[in-house]
Amino acid sequence: MNVVRLRVLLRRMLSVVKRVQLVAVRQMGVMAGLFVLAGFRMLGCFAVMLGGCIEVFRRFMMVMMNFVLVAHGKLLHLR
Q: pLDDT 10s digit of each residue in the chain, 79 long?
A: 688 998 999 999 888 888 887 777 676 677 777 888 888 888 888 999 999 999 999 999 988 888 887 776 665 554 4
Element (H, E) at 16: helix 2-19
Q: Which amino acid is at 13?
A: M
Does the pTM surpass 0.85? The reply is: no
pLDDT of residue 25: 67
What's the structural domain count of the chain? 1
Expressed as residue numbers, the domain containing 74 is 2-78
**Inter-CA distances, 18 with 7, 11, 15, 27, 42, Å:** 16, 10, 5, 20, 31
pLDDT of residue 77: 55
In terms of phi and psi (left: phi > 0; alpha: psi -120 to 50; beta: otherwise), the region of 22 is beta
pLDDT of residue 49: 93
- 23 Cβ contact partners less than 8 Å away, ≥ 6 residues apart: 31
